[in-house]
Amino acid sequence: MFETVVKALNKLNQPELFQRYYSRLEKVVDNLGWVGYGAEDDARYLLEEVLNWSENEENQ
């Protein structure tokens, strides 16, 4: 579900909207440590990958 939300925000191509929800998404990632091996790492990677993409788009 987390991946679906992050990808949907990414598809909208509105970095300001992504930034608006970033802190909430980060809290979700922080709470994934108990879920299982690698869940938190995978979610953090996905979130940072999209964040890096949106920052690169803003700089162009």
DSSP state, residue 33: G
Question: Confidence class of residue 54 from pLDDT cuts 50, 70 and 90?
Answer: low
**Token pair listed for 54:** 């949106």
pLDDT in tens, 17-46: 888 888 899 999 988 888 877 889 999 999
**Token pair listed for 33:** 């440590």
DSSP state, residue 35: T
CA distances from 32 to 9, 13, 43, 46, 48 (A): 20, 26, 8, 13, 15
52/9: higher pLDDT: 9
Question: Confidence class of residue 60 from pLDDT cuts 50, 70 and 90?
Answer: low
Query: Residue 2 has what pLDDT?
Result: 86
